[in-house]
Structure 1
Amino acid sequence: MAEAHQAVAFQFTITPDGIDLQLSHQALRQVYLSGLRSWKKRVTRLKNNVITGVYPASPSSWLFVVIAILATMYTRSDPSMGLIAKIQEHLPVSDSLSIQCRTVVSAVLFSTLLWFSLIFTMRLCLKQLLSYHGWMFEQHGKVSNTTKIWAAMVRIFSGRQPLLYSYQGSLPNLPVPAVKDTVKRYLESARPLMSDSEYERMTTLAKEFESSLGNRLQWYLKLKAMWASNYVSDWWEEYVYLRGRGPLMVNSNYYGMDFLYVTPTPIQAARAGNTLHACLLYRRKLNREEIKPSRVPVLNVPLCAAQCERIFNTTRIPGEETDSLIHWQDSEYVAVFHRGRYFRLWLYHAGRMLSPREIEQQIQRIMDDPSPPVPGEAKLAALTAGDRIPWAQARKEFFSSGVNKRSLDCIEKAAFFVALDDDEQGMRGDDPAGNLDRYAKSLLHGKCYDRWFDKSFTVVVYKNGKNGLNAEHSWADGPIMAHVWEYVMTTDSFQLGYTEEGHCKGDVASSLPPPTRLTWDIPAECQERIERSLTVAQALADDVDFHVLPIQEFGKGAIKKCKISPDAYIQIALQLAYYRNRGTFSLTYEASMTRLFREGRTETVRSCTSESCAFIRALEGGESKEVCRRLFRTASEKHQQLYRMAMTGGGIDRHLFCLYLVSKYLGEESPFLKEVLSETWRLSTSQTPLQQVELFDFVNHPEYTTCGGGFGPVADDGYGVSYIIVGENMINLHISCKHSCPQTDSHKFGADIKKALEDLLELLSPEKPDPSKAEQNHSKKSKKDL
């Protein structure tokens, strides 16, 4: 908006009498207010940087230290042990200053140095405290005295009211495991998936690697860990995500759904108004660092917040060899796609955020615009859905100058992308289950040209008021976006709300300029490139077999009564379902976070273990309940141990991944690493966390159930399973595979998972006494008493 106002803020004409200058006071006022908002943001950012920089102390504590030192000096004692006098001797000040003034200046300098020393010491102590992870390995419900003392010290050194990024400088670095430990854990994970001969061969390769090349590679990795804040994350982002040359759509991007049962309003523009306004509220909290740092429940251990920095104003830029992530400091607009046209929608006016009702009006203006798309515009976003190299080449050739560059810049620099969809979605109509599956597929890939897959995230609003999102994966992991989306959904329904007619609340400013239509000049050759990318993307999308399965018969409450970890319970059920589905076991990927460490992202939990396989064989082989229960609990404890190891830096796969990269940099070949890195994850799983349920009363509003989100299959012949544990009585699963593989079927696998969950609950639930047997025992006892 500032650009438009600057263009009309003043006009002048040259006449025979001189220059006639005409000022637009209203336009100048808009420019002034917009600039004022920008400066307020800079001041807030500077203030937060100061507060975070001195954390766990506070800026006001500096004044306390200065006053304390000056007070002790006036009692004729020297708390500095002569340092103040030394500072005074070398103080480069004017001779006009009195001795008393020099003493005060020296005392203030000493106090400042002492204050910084205390901050450094406190931060170092907090970092050492946060490096302790023994609390994770204690039995649930039983906290040792060591952990109690540790938790108390963490609270003491954590200060009060930390900002979002306050803990960043105090988080420990991710440790590099010993090569022998990683190799040992890998062989243990591989054992149930290999025959005796295969395992013996792999053991030989592992031992050769451990005794020779492994130690050399480890030395380089330790050197990187000493220099970098995280020895994994930058390589993981680059080589797993940014260097991928295949389509982002389905293969990388993931989605999040709306409420399962509730649609707050059937008016598309109104739902978009509240949703976009809630996103802006979240961004404002993010910029002010008012969002509470995420923590591990119970003990309130902080998690790394580094991924939050790139939620908004971020785009993935295609390259021929590797992509790049570009983040802008601020953006006052969003890019909107509707019926093949692109619009710039300003979200601020006169230095203030637009109200939900004003955004609704602007969205309605876009929807009422009758102009058709220009040739090539309607399916332009298919370039972001296809292979990366053709998109990089087309971007360089056709979008590097002129009107196309300006319009592309507008999309890429937007806060986020918005897609107004003409379809109706959700669990509705005569086929709610089938419609829910189609809803998931729509969010995952849409029509392959109506989502900008390169943006950090795309908000999708459907014709019937349902919404959802599609998120790019390289900049952050699912829990970060889940945090944003839960805030947006709950703020939309419980804080912003709607009128009785379904419109957004609030008034509308009469001076709002309409959204700007982006212009394009797309030549025929570029249109051919777009069609080729669309063909690739459409084939990929058509091959996706998706099934969303809400399980409402039981949830976390029933599982906890069995005294079992819900995550371990579901993971073992997935192993059982896969075994019944395919008749074999599979290498299984479960994502766990490593955000206990600075810039941590994820680690892999290899959920298929010897213990889980032993349990499944016993259960399917007809062993007694006692035997199966014992084996299940052993498998559950093993899974929990693996999960804790992954979270605390003792995982397998990220270490091996980095060792492999070092070997490539050195030009060394390792048969062991090559085989490990080429293994196929035929069962890829992830849990979506619930982090914002405190924003409303979830118990009294069970209809506001979130359905979670999902992702595409990792392997062509495998399954992708995302699950979310909703409250005490519900589990939602998102299951994906490919139609092209005759061995996979998402609906059949969904039925197998549900049956496995039910079978495990029946196995583990405490047996209820038989009423007939109890009556017989009572009768016998009565006769005996007589």
Structure 2
Amino acid sequence: MPHSFRPRDEPLPSLPVPDLEITIQKYLQQVEAVAPNHLERARVLAKAFLAGPGPKLQQRLLERRQRTTNWATDWWLNDMYLSVPLALPINSNPGLAARPKQFANQREAAVFLARFLTELLNYQESLDRSELEVERVKSKDGKSLQPLCMAQHYQVLRIYRRPGKEVDTQIVLDRVSSGNHIIVAHHNQFYSIPVRASDRGRVTEAELTQQILKIMEIQADPRTPPVGILTTARRPVWAQAREELLKDDQNRHNIELLERCLCVVCIDDDVLPGTFNNPLRRDDRWIGNRDYANVLHHALHGGGSRHLGANRWFDKTFHAILGKDGMWGLTYEHSAGEAPAVFTAFEELTEKVDAMPPPDGNLIPSHLPAPEKLEWHLSEQSLSDIRDAMTTFDALVEDLDLCILWFEEYSKEFVKSCNISPDVYVQLALQLTYFRLHGQLVATYESAGIRRFALGRVDCIRAASPEALAWVKAMCQGDPESQPTSQQSADQEEGSKREEKIKELFDLAVERQSKEMMDNIMGQGIDNHLMGLRYAAKEAGEPVPDIFADEAYKIVNHFALSTSQVTTRNDVIAGYGPVVPDGYGCAYNLRKNGFIFSVSAFHSDGCTNAMRFAQTLEHSMQAMAAMLKNTKQ
């Protein structure tokens, strides 16, 4: 992990190492909620761990905390991203679709991109000068504001993820030899445009506009090899293919330009067909025949090799995407930073451009050389690698099942009026939804920002709990949507008494989830801790403790629900794919006018279904509101 504090960063505490016994206790509660058949053995292994290697490994973490800025981040980065061999698109890189743009002609679109890039350059230079205002959140006591670590914001435009056969590498780019050009992708071809020159400084908006227009006017060439598709392959496969490319000097030059650019701008002269549309469509907020799901598919993967999937370089952190119909969005490489560091900048820069007056009618002729087209010299092996990547990626794209739900029957203000955290509320709604569909709870991942601590990234807020399980079982008694359970109450209560009992169970689940959320953001989560104990043993060359080799541990870390709250300035659609083949992904945006959910699954699983999940989630949200209204004093 690149460790570069900026001069304006305020001193922050180091991430604490949680209490060992408390972590193990919380772990066993997870086993109770999602793997009850394994609980007895898990307790035996937990006791042996606490009496055996646990305390020694805990001491190593405490010592590591003393000698590092953040004891967890390097290990977490490797565990969460760099050692994962899966393809980046869908599996890792999120997508965002913003409000579509309307342009009268191609020149207006070029001006928009030039202005956005000009603002991005302004932002980059403010980063160079360490000028970002430190973000703050309420402290635990609610009486003061606490600063957050800003390292991600400063680093996100300077990191490139290079594939490896065993593990990927984050390349930290210096500001002398990188960030002074952009790459424009158009018709699967890449072009390099300098945005600064040593003898004259920044290029102007008008010059950028003309450079972009030159690229826009180039017609598609069916002979263009879709080299970008290689970045969609599994990481070890792409690492091998990259080595083949690097045998040629011209290819080496191209890859260096792609690695060292400020960002990739994708000009997409195609729209995805209706097969990517969302059957749950409710209105016509989007343009033409494209709806929410279609545009999110576009942002996530470009529709595969048949459409725009090769018009990307997925290893690069920041991709701005402009479609021929005004689609405006991004995809980004996730190991470099979390969504707030990327989405916020994207939205702020977009707002600045949207507030600018329309462009005037004339362009002053530019004497800049034409954009550099990246020409590739491809061996038979490289051509074979490209064909294989196209086949594999297209299968992944076709497997992705997306559904967007815009829930507007009430908003987070109603939830707050019930003295419940909206995030806690949504997490419990997701538990109810999964139980209704599948008759059990599963390990649930929610990103918990731990930027209160130096170089903090995230830990995992777990929403499956014994309290949540008791509540969803009570909610689902006699529910035709839920599968029957083996523990139906023999003396089922009727009418208001039953409602009061359900509300009591709900209050306990809310209390538990609220504590889980607070524990995590205060550095007391169990996932980084358990990961750290594993890595401490591995680093010392010791056997992995039995507790980590147990089936219960595998189940508890099989995140069949991968979720995150995506807070944006506007009503945008953001999402990602499931993290396991039989799982769901669910991003949610809490808006003043309602809740935006993006749900993903894989068709190939057979048991999961994104539309069915979204419809059931809608019913869960309705049932929870009815429960609260019926039991309100």
Q: What is the TM-score when the length of structure 1 is the normalising length?
A: 0.70
Rounded to whole Å, the distance in 2 between the matches of 1:573 and 1:440 is 23
**Is 1:179 matched up with 2:20?**
yes
Taking the TM superposition and a 5 Å limit, the aligned residue runs for 1:429-448 are 435-446=291-302, 447=304, 448=309
Residue type of the alignment partner of 2:54: G
**Is 1:273 matched up with 2:273?**
no
Rounded to whole Å, the distance in 2 between the matches of 1:715 and 1:361 is 45
Kept in 2, the 8 Å contact 1:615–1:631? The answer is yes
**Is 1:366 matched up with 2:366?**
no
Residue type of the alignment partner of 1:338: H
Deviations 1:610-645 (A, max 9, x none): 111222222222753222222222211211100110
Give 2:484's aligned residue.
Answer: none
Tell me which moved more, 587-596 or 627-636: 627-636
Rounded to whole Å, the distance in 2 between the matches of 1:313 and 1:650 is 30
Give 2:96's aligned residue.
Answer: 256
Kindly tell me: are residues 306 and 252 of structure 1, through their superposed partners in 2, closer, same or farther at Cα, counting changes over 3 Å?
same
Residue type of the alignment partner of 1:244: V
Rounded to whole Å, the distance in 1 between the matches of 2:365 and 2:630 is 63
Give 1:333's aligned residue.
Answer: 181
**Is 1:221 matched up with 2:61?**
yes
Give 1:115's aligned residue.
Answer: none
Residue type of the alignment partner of 2:192: R
Deviations 1:48-86 (A, max 9, x none): 99xx65xxxxxxxxxxxxxxxxxxxxxxxxxxxxxxxxx
Shift of residue 438, structure 1, vs aligned partner: 1.6
Rounded to whole Å, the distance in 1 between the matches of 2:166 and 2:38 is 36
Taking the TM superposition and a 5 Å limit, the aligned residue runs for 1:290-369 are 290-297=131-138, 299-330=144-175, 331-348=179-196, 351-369=200-218
Give 1:758's aligned residue.
Answer: 622
Give 2:402's aligned residue.
Answer: 546
Give 1:664's aligned residue.
Answer: 538
- Selected match of 2:608 from 744, 747, 754: 744
Kept in 1, the 8 Å contact 2:433–2:613? The answer is yes
Kept in 2, the 8 Å contact 1:594–1:647? The answer is yes
Rounded to whole Å, the distance in 2 between the matches of 1:326 and 1:594 is 23
Shift of residue 506, structure 1, vs aligned partner: 9.1
Kindly tell me: are residues 508 and 190 of structure 1, through their superposed partners in 2, closer, same or farther at Cα, counting changes over 3 Å?
farther
Give 1:598's aligned residue.
Answer: 454
Kindly tell me: are residues 378 and 484 of structure 1, through their superposed partners in 2, closer, same or farther at Cα, counting changes over 3 Å?
farther
Kept in 2, the 8 Å contact 1:251–1:713? The answer is yes
Give 1:452's aligned residue.
Answer: 313
Shift of residue 355, structure 1, vs aligned partner: 4.5
Rounded to whole Å, the distance in 1 between the matches of 2:331 and 2:117 is 15
Residue type of the alignment partner of 1:343: Y
Residue 289 of structure 1 aligns to a residue whose secondary structure is coil
Rounded to whole Å, the distance in 2 between the matches of 1:431 and 1:753 is 26
Deviations 1:269-301 (A, max 9, x none): 233223322322322222222221121157321
Rounded to whole Å, the distance in 2 between the matches of 1:752 and 1:371 is 44
Kindly tell me: are residues 612 and 434 of structure 1, through their superposed partners in 2, closer, same or farther at Cα, counting changes over 3 Å?
farther
Give 2:490's aligned residue.
Answer: none
Kept in 1, the 8 Å contact 2:448–2:461? The answer is yes
Rounded to whole Å, the distance in 2 between the matches of 1:472 and 1:264 is 28
Kindly tell me: are residues 391 and 619 of structure 1, through their superposed partners in 2, closer, same or farther at Cα, counting changes over 3 Å?
closer
Residue 585 of structure 2 aligns to a residue whose secondary structure is strand
Shift of residue 710, structure 1, vs aligned partner: 0.9
Residue type of the alignment partner of 2:17: V
Give 1:487's aligned residue.
Answer: 348
Shift of residue 509, structure 1, vs aligned partner: 5.7
Give 1:283's aligned residue.
Answer: 124
**Is 1:475 matched up with 2:336?**
yes
Kept in 1, the 8 Å contact 2:49–2:547? The answer is yes
Residue type of the alignment partner of 1:203: R
Residue 428 of structure 2 aligns to a residue whose secondary structure is helix
Shift of residue 689, structure 1, vs aligned partner: 2.2
Rounded to whole Å, the distance in 2 between the matches of 1:505 and 1:236 is 52
Residue 453 of structure 1 aligns to a residue whose secondary structure is coil
- Selected match of 2:503 from 626, 629, 635: 629
Tell me which moved more, 594-603 or 243-252: 243-252
Residue type of the alignment partner of 2:154: E
Rounded to whole Å, the distance in 1 between the matches of 2:354 and 2:544 is 56
Question: How many percent of aligned residue pairs carry the same amino acid?
Answer: 29
Residue type of the alignment partner of 1:416: C
Residue 184 of structure 2 aligns to a residue whose secondary structure is strand
Deviations 1:3-61 (A, max 9, x none): xxxxxxxxxxxxxxxxxxxxxxxxxxxxxxxxxxxxxxxxxxxxx99xx65xxxxxxxx
Rounded to whole Å, the distance in 1 between the matches of 2:195 and 2:130 is 21
Kindly tell me: are residues 393 and 198 of structure 1, through their superposed partners in 2, closer, same or farther at Cα, counting changes over 3 Å?
closer
Residue 757 of structure 1 aligns to a residue whose secondary structure is helix
Kept in 2, the 8 Å contact 1:356–1:506? The answer is no
Kept in 2, the 8 Å contact 1:593–1:603? The answer is yes
**Is 1:575 matched up with 2:416?**
no
Rounded to whole Å, the distance in 1 between the matches of 2:426 and 2:82 is 32
Rounded to whole Å, the distance in 1 between the matches of 2:73 and 2:623 is 40
Structure 1 residue ranges without an equivalent (≥5)? 1-47, 54-162, 694-704, 770-786
Shift of residue 768, structure 1, vs aligned partner: 9.4
Give 1:421's aligned residue.
Answer: 268
More helix by share: 1
Q: Please say which structure displays the higher CA radius of gyration.
A: 1
Residue 362 of structure 1 aligns to a residue whose secondary structure is helix
Kindly tell me: are residues 768 and 172 of structure 1, through their superposed partners in 2, closer, same or farther at Cα, counting changes over 3 Å?
closer
Kindly tell me: are residues 508 and 638 of structure 1, through their superposed partners in 2, closer, same or farther at Cα, counting changes over 3 Å?
farther
Kept in 2, the 8 Å contact 1:314–1:413? The answer is no
Shift of residue 172, structure 1, vs aligned partner: 0.7
Kept in 2, the 8 Å contact 1:344–1:518? The answer is yes
Give 1:616's aligned residue.
Answer: 472
Kept in 1, the 8 Å contact 2:292–2:573? The answer is no
Residue type of the alignment partner of 1:684: S
Rounded to whole Å, the distance in 2 between the matches of 1:482 and 1:519 is 32
Taking the TM superposition and a 5 Å limit, the aligned residue runs for 1:6-21 are none
Residue type of the alignment partner of 1:751: Q
Rounded to whole Å, the distance in 1 between the matches of 2:21 and 2:44 is 13
Tell me which moved more, 358-367 or 343-352: 343-352
Kept in 2, the 8 Å contact 1:333–1:348? The answer is yes
Shift of residue 430, structure 1, vs aligned partner: 9.6
- Selected match of 2:522 from 616, 624, 648: 648
- Selected match of 1:711 from 576, 579, 587: 576
Query: Which structure ranks higher in relative contact order (CA pairs < 8 Å, sequence separation ≥ 6)?
Result: 2
Tell me which moved more, 341-350 or 171-180: 341-350
Rounded to whole Å, the distance in 2 between the matches of 1:211 and 1:393 is 45
**Is 1:734 matched up with 2:598?**
yes
Deviations 1:99-142 (A, max 9, x none): xxxxxxxxxxxxxxxxxxxxxxxxxxxxxxxxxxxxxxxxxxxx
Rounded to whole Å, the distance in 2 between the matches of 1:429 and 1:293 is 35
Kept in 2, the 8 Å contact 1:257–1:709? The answer is yes
Structure 2 residue ranges without an equivalent (≥5)? 278-282, 479-492
Give 1:689's aligned residue.
Answer: 567
Rounded to whole Å, the distance in 2 between the matches of 1:237 and 1:272 is 33
Rounded to whole Å, the distance in 2 between the matches of 1:767 and 1:480 is 41
**For the aligned residues, what is the CA RMSD?**
2.5
Kept in 2, the 8 Å contact 1:718–1:737? The answer is yes
Residue 381 of structure 1 aligns to a residue whose secondary structure is helix
Rounded to whole Å, the distance in 2 between the matches of 1:435 and 1:413 is 35
Residue type of the alignment partner of 1:647: I
Residue 227 of structure 2 aligns to a residue whose secondary structure is coil
Rounded to whole Å, the distance in 1 between the matches of 2:430 and 2:346 is 27
Kept in 2, the 8 Å contact 1:557–1:729? The answer is no
Count of aligned positions: 583
Kindly tell me: are residues 369 and 585 of structure 1, through their superposed partners in 2, closer, same or farther at Cα, counting changes over 3 Å?
same
Rounded to whole Å, the distance in 1 between the matches of 2:130 and 2:265 is 25
